[in-house]
Amino acid sequence: MTTVSQARPTLDAIKEAVSARYAWGLKALQRLIAVDIIAPKERACQEALAEILRAESLPVQLVSLNEGNLPSVEGFIDTGLPLADRPNLVVALEGTHAGGRSLILNSHIDTVAWQGGAEKWQAHPLSGAVRDGKIYGRGAVDAKGQVMAAVMAVLALRDLGYEPAGRLVVQSVVGEEPDGNGTLALCAQGWLAEAAIVLEPTDNQIAYGHRGVIDLRFRVEGRQGHAAVQSSDANAIVVASRLVEVLDGALADWSAPEDTSYGRPSLNVGRIEGGEDIFTVAQRCEIKCGVRYAPGTYQSVLGHIESHLLKEGPQHRLPMGDLLNMTTFAHHDAAETPPDSPLATTLLSCVHQVAPDRRLVTCPGGTDARHFINRYGVPAVIFGPGQLTVAHAVDEFLPVEQWLKAIQALALFIVRWCG
């Protein structure tokens, strides 16, 4: 390493550099939005991003998702998706001299589906159309726009002649939406740093923690028979409907100190499957639920739900024991970095330079920050432009002005953190 010092870019210089990069960044983002990408078919978009970045002479690596033995890594969630041919993308800028701190800017390239609803959009979901200061398209805010925010911050600084003293890594990961295995893979492969910013839509607030999600499943066993003569109490779907009513109030009397920062836990009945046909009493029905909870409350939330079922079940004629089975299918754990950590406070001070009304918050959804924090001891926060309320929705959009401010704040943070 060299020990040559360099002048640090000022905020005004950063703003000018980001503005000069806007047309390039918009075109690049529109190219990414145009690639329909749902796990496990991320390769085409990663290759498009790699081509964009290599044209800017950035050192791009496409890293195999299953390099090593990912299924054996703690935190891996098996959703049945293949691991082959799904590369993560990494850009690593090695530090130029001693004294700098390392940093990871992480976001995901995969999106949720839009098919079947294109006619409801103001613009085609793969168009990246710009209207009234908003970039529309699937992935615009969640999270291709976040990936490009990281890239734009790095390139704007390079345009100013800045080279980070500490190692700076940009990660575009696969598989965040279904399981988070993309970020987990990179962590397991040794892609770690002294801090990480996970870019997700937070309205440019800094989220120092996020809730966890429990994939909770209930299997109800009925008694199959002819619908003309069998009692409805033997119908697994009818029994499941009574279970839904019980579950709806499972957390009504919950109270915990963590609620102050994260809000009350929630239980969403997301899917019900069961039965054969209209002539046959259903023998089996499965209910899939998502339970969101604050850091530190996982076991107590599960215990609260179980106690509620035992108390209320008999009153709703629910079969207990083997005929009603509750299992945790998957667990996306909650995570938190102390809000007074150097990472959180330094980023907040940088954001305040461009958006003085932003503050420290918590995130209601789960993110890949959990892998950095819980498994590898890397402090991580969640930050990014746009609102979570428009992610996964018809007319998903990214506000241009907020996008540019996020890029400015990221660039300023890189300068202060990496040195």
- The reported pLDDT for the residue numbered 79 is 92
> Which helix (H) or strand (E) segment is 46 a member of?
helix 43-54
Q: Does residue 153 contact residue 55 with C-beta atoms inside 8 Å?
A: no
Q: Which residues contact 50 (CB under 8 A, 6 or more apart)?
A: 60, 62, 89
> For the residues 200-213, what does the mean pLDDT come to?
98
Q: Give residue 290's pLDDT.
A: 95
Q: Report the distance separating Cα 383 and Cα 380, nearest Å.
A: 10
3-state secondary structure of 330: strand
What tokens were used for 294?
């604050």
**pLDDT confidence tier of residue 382, bands split at 50, 70 and 90:** very high
Share of the chain above pLDDT 90, in %: 89
Query: What pLDDT, in 10s, does the model give residues 18-28?
Result: 999 999 999 99
Mean pLDDT of 192-218: 97
Q: Is the pTM of this model over 0.85?
A: yes
Q: What b/e sequence results for 381-411 when a residue is b if at least 16 CB atoms lie within 10 Å of its CB, and e otherwise?
A: bbbbbbbbebbebebbbbbbebbbbbbbbbb
What's residue 321's pLDDT?
A: 78
pLDDT, tens digit, 9 for 90 and up, residues 348-378: 999 999 999 999 999 999 999 999 999 999 9
Which residues, 6+ apart, have CB-to-CB distance to 369 below 8 Å?
196, 198, 210, 335, 337, 380, 381, 382
- Tell me the percentage of the chain whose pLDDT exceeds 70: 99
Are 111 and 379 in contact by the 8 Å Cβ rule? The answer is: no
Bridge partners of 361, per DSSP, are 207
Average pLDDT in the chain = 94
- At 311 the pLDDT is 93
* DSSP designation for 60: E
What is the mean predicted confidence (pLDDT) over 212-240? 90
**Domains located in the chain, CATH noted:** 11-210+334-418 (3.40.630.10), 212-332 (3.30.70.360)
| First vs last C-alpha separation in the chain | 14
Check whether 3 has a pLDDT greater than 60.
no
The answer to whether the beta carbons of residues 312 and 246 sit under 8 Å apart is yes
Contact 312, 251 (CB under 8 A): no
CB 208 within 8 A of CB 339: yes
3-state class (DSSP) for residue 107: strand
pLDDT in tens, 297-323: 999 999 999 999 999 999 898 987 778
Residue 4, pLDDT > 60, answer no
Task: Band the pLDDT of 6: cuts 50, 70, 90.
Answer: low
Distance separating alpha carbons of residues 349 and 362, to the nearest angstrom: 17
Whether 302 contacts 308, CB under 8 Å: no
Residue 117 has pLDDT above 90, yes or no: no
Q: For residue 59, what pLDDT is reported?
A: 98
